[in-house]
Structure formats: C-alpha cells, structure tokens
A and B are shown apart, each in its own frame.
Chain A
Amino acid sequence: MSYIDIIPIGEVEETLLLFLKESIFQTFKIQTRIRNRRFNLSPVYDPIRNQYNSSGLLLELINDTPPDTLKVLGVTELDLFIPIFTFLFGEAQLNGIGALVSIHRLRNQFYGIPEDKELLRNRLLKEGIHELGHTFGLIHCFALKCVMKSSTYVEEIDQKSTYFCRACEQEVLRWQIEKNV
C-alpha cells in the first residue's frame, strides 16, 4: 500500500493535521498518514529575512522517505521564501514526490484581522491539495473555482474551492492509473 505522508515541520496544531489527513484522503482516495520526524532548520533559516528557505526545506523533507510513501506533504507554521520571491504559501516538485505548505500567511492574524479557525482550515486544505496537485503533474489552472488556480494572496485562496475542476481531476486519475496507484 502507498501513502501520502503528512509531516509537521516544527509545532503544528494536531487538529489541523488530523483534518488534513482525512480531507486529503477524501480528495485523492489514497491512504494518508501523519508521520513525525525531526528537522534541522538552521541551514534553511535566513536571519536577514527572518524566513525559511522553502526549496532547502523541501529537499530536507523528501530526504529519507520510506519506500511505501507515494507523496509527502510538509506542513509548517514557518514563514517560507525562495530568494527571488518575498514569500511563498507553499512549494512542490512538479511530477515529484514532495510538497510543502506554510500556515504562517494563511492565518487572519497575520493581516491584523481576528482569527477564523474555519477559514484557516479551508485555506490550509486548499493549499495542501494545490501543492500535492503539482506532484501529480498538474500546472496552474484557469478555472476560477479549481483548487489548482494560482493564488498569490489569501483572498485569492478564498475565492477558489477545495475541488479539482473536471480536467484537473482527470489528470490526477490518469496519473494514478499510469503509476498503478
């Protein structure tokens, strides 16, 4: 059996992880599990930007992956960046194994507005599915409600749904059939 591993990086609320575990299984129909492991964050920390290098963290995330792991989704409270961009909500390997999502800028409090736990769960799920979608070979989609639509600010995440459009869904299915998952 193959799994999508959900791996917390640093402290992450357990309720969020459990919610992701169940919802991602519902979306991809692939068994999910929460796998805990330790990370050495100092090599990916940039003290000038006070952010963590997403690409470095992604490489660290896929390191030492068990043979029954199909995909890995790292979930973190850390604020992510890559050198050219100010921040990232997440990063993934196109057609690869690893995906990473940050909760940091999904929280309302980051923008000075009151906490909304339901909204946060939704945003996290959308970004988690979105980044995992890239690992299934999906690129950004133009369908307004498709979860694969690109989001460069939180309001854009709120506008899309947690579902794939029909074309993206077909792509994921095709991938699974080809890989005999």
Chain B
Amino acid sequence: MDNQSVSILVVDDEFSVRDSLYNWFKNEGYRVDTAENGMEALKKLQEGPWDIVLVDIKMPGMDGMELQRHIKKIDNTIIVIIITAYATVDTAVEAMKEGAYDYLSKPIDPDKLSILIRNAVNQRRLIAENIQLKQKVEELSLQDEIVGESPQIKKILEMIDTVAKTDATVMIRGESGTGKELVAQAIHGKSNRRYFPIISINCGAFPEGLLESELFGHEKGAFTGAQYKRKGKLEMANGGTLFFDEIGNITAKMQMDLLRVIETKQFTPLGSNKVINVDFRIIAATNSDLEKKVAEKEFREDLYYRLNVFSIQIPPLRERTADIPLIARYFLEKYARSMNKDVTDISPEAMKMLVQYNWPGNIRELRNTIERALVVVGEKNRIEPEDLNLLFLSKSNPPGDSLEEIEKAHVQRILEQSDWNISRSAEILKIDRVTLYNKIKKYGLQR
C-alpha cells in the first residue's frame, strides 16, 4: 500500500490545524482532504471510501465522540484517530474504548504522528489482507463437499461437526476412493485451525528415506542431493492440520519417529541440530486392517492408540446407493460448469445403471465416470447409458474373475440398459436372439 492509495480526512474546526495537517499529509504523498465540522465530514465520508479519519474531539455542534459513532456506522473498518488537547485526554480515552485507534495530544509530535499513521496504514492493510484471505479460505473449503442424505452420511457429518471442535486425533477408515481426504478437509475446514494450512502426505507414495526428508525437512548438504535447505511438512503444517493418508504403509522406523513427534511436538530436520517446536492436529487415514497389523507386530500398538482417538468409518458407496443420484448430479453440475458444457441431466436409464453398479472404486470411480461421460456426451444435454463406461454391472456383489461371471454381468447390464428388449440386446451383444435366450436361461437372469 503506497501513500498515494491511502486516503486521510482531517476533521477540525481550527483552520490552522486543518491547513497544517493537510500540508503535512500532502507532503507525505497521502490523498488528503479536510472538513470543518462533523456534518461536512459525514458528507465527505458518504462520498467515498476513507482509510483514516483524524477527528478533533472538541468541535462546536457534533463533537468528535458523536462523529466517531457515525463513522463506525458508515464503515466499521475506518481507522479513527482522535486529536485532543491535554484537558480532554480523558474523553480521548473514552473514545478509544468506543473503537478509536489512538489519540494524539495537541501540539502533536511530528515523529509520533508519522509512526501512528504508518502503523494505522499497516493495520488497515493487514485487516484488508486478512478479510481477503479468509474469503479465499472459505471459497477453497467449499470446493468439494460431502454429498449425501443417507443415514450413514448424516452420521458422518455429525461426527465431523463434533470432532472438528476438538483437537483430537482422528483416524478415518474406509475403502479406497470413499473420500477419506474429503472428510479430513471437512474436519480441518470446520476447526479453529482452518486459517492455517492442511498438509496432506501420502505415506504410501514415498520410499523410507524420502518420506523422512519430506516430513522433517533437511538442511543443505544433509544427504547426497540435498542441494538446498528444505522445510518439512511437519513445519509447514504448524498451526494447522497434518493429514497422513495410508498411514498403515509407514515403516517401523518412521512409526517410531512419528510417535516421538506426536508426543513431544518437537522434531529436528535432517542434518540440523536445531529442535523445532510445532503445533498441529493429526488426522490419519487408512484402508488397511490396522488391528491385524498391530496383532502381527507390523504396526506399533502405542502409535495405533495415539492415532485412533476418534475413529470415523466411511461406508463404501455400494452400501449407500441412495446417495448415488445426489453425488452423480453433484459431479455432473461441477464438471459441466468447469468444462463449459450444457449438460444438465442424467437420463433415468443411465441413473438406474449408476445406482445398480457396484462401484469398487467408490466415489472416485463415480466421479471419473461422470467426468468421462461429459467428455463423450457430445452435443446431447443429458447423459445416456451409452455415455457410461460401466463394464461390470451387479446389483449387489462385484463379478468374480471367471469368464462366466463376467459374461453374466455383461449380459445383465445390456439387458437392463435396453430395458429387456431382446432384439436390441442381441444386436448390441452381436449374438442371435436364441443364443441370448439360452444365456438368460443359463445364468438365471431376471428382469
């Protein structure tokens, strides 16, 4: 914020004060104007945005206190500085209690005025920045949401609300693609730590040495290839949340190091002798059977109990099929907007397929299916069955690996897709109608 972009209004009934301060601020490069009394000041305040208003406390008519109240009603963020004579310092203190930024006694020490204005400008800049950043955080936290109205999802949303208010460590369990990271982000987004970062680390994606450096950071030259000093994710998450995905995949040594960090909230970067204090909340996620790993001594029991303070189990999508239409429409709207496509609906047939599909890849697979459908949908304005790339359709269980099981699932899917129109189904399957009847009989397929 340069001085040119800072606007200052001087309100004083004494011409010499207005004139002196006007010239002083002008010389400093500020945008400055003056007002002789409260009414004139209010008129100027209505006309445009002001950053700082210097108000003489003692003026005929509307005094400085009253003017300040009006200013705060117009714009609560305007910085009001009270100008006062020694005799009215008590009133200035009262004004500060009512929200004035500070006061200056006449005659003003130029140095004090200079520092005060500089600090006020900095504060105003920080407030503006803070508001902007908060808005950005809110926008970002709204990027994806947990969609669903099934009892299971309602229960999870309640659990998120409950645990977000605390600083407890959370363990999120669920199959791959069920939205564990989304739940972690929702907990972080609703917690008091939301204005600090949430740092995700996929423990399964790093070999041991690299995970250590990724987490703890390193000094320049700590190991071959460490050409620069690098901040670790533990330090980056300070004040916020650290999300460990696939926690079940970390090595024994890493388990020990992590346990120490969780207990002491301290760590030392690789190659450094400086201990760094950190404050973060931990959310871990896994789709592996941690209890079994603990029993088989593959996962430390003490770390398990440290992480498993509050557990959230996300059901697979096939167990909450009632949510599928909602989630599908959510992704449809989201991707249609980002791809700039005028696709507004999913046909009943296509929706039926989505609901009946087994979704082994859970929400991630559903998301990818909708995104892909939007690519292949062409000029149509709704998604039809042929736009969906669902190979294995099953009402309850996924097909097995045998050719017979796959064929059964495929025939059933085509029949349902064509609403059990035998001729159309036979045409799609490129077999004759008799063969199709035989297969329906063989596999005991029913409408």
Contact = CB atoms under 8 A, between A and B. Distances in A.
B289 interface: no
Interface string B26-41: 1111000000000000
Interface in B104-143: 106-111, 113-114
Interface residues of A, number: 18
Given A87-B110, A139-B27, A152-B113, 17 more contacts: A55-B16, A81-B107, A82-B16, A83-B17, A84-B17, A84-B107, A84-B108, A85-B20, A85-B108, A85-B110, A86-B107, A86-B109, A139-B26, A139-B29, A140-B28, A152-B110, A152-B114
A150 interface: yes
Interface residues of B, number: 20
Interface string A137-158: 0011010000000101100000
Contacts of A83: 14, 16-17, 20, 106-107
Contacts of B106: 83-84
Interface string A21-38: 000000000000000000
B46 to A, nearest CB: 26
A86 B110 contact: yes
A94 B20 contact: no
B286 to A, nearest CB: 55
Contacts of A140: 27-29
Interface of B: 2, 14, 16-17, 20-21, 23-24, 26-29, 106-111, 113-114
Interface of A: 49, 55, 81-88, 94, 134, 139-140, 142, 150, 152-153
Nearest to A81: B107
10 contacts: A83-B17, A83-B106, A83-B107, A84-B106, A84-B107, A85-B107, A86-B107, A87-B110, A94-B26, A134-B27
Contact of A88 (B21, B110, B113): B110
Nearest to A148: B27
A150 B30 CA distance: 13
Given A83-B17, A87-B110, A94 B28 contact: no
Contacts of B24: 85
B109 A85 contact: yes
B114 A150 contact: yes
A137 to B, nearest CB: 11
A134 B110 CA distance: 18
Contact of B28 (A84, A88, A150): A150
Given A84-B107, A85-B108, A85-B109, A94 B17 contact: no
A127 B21 CA distance: 20
A94 B23 CA distance: 8
A81 B108 CA distance: 10
A152 B28 contact: no
Nearest to B114: A152
Nearest to A152: B111
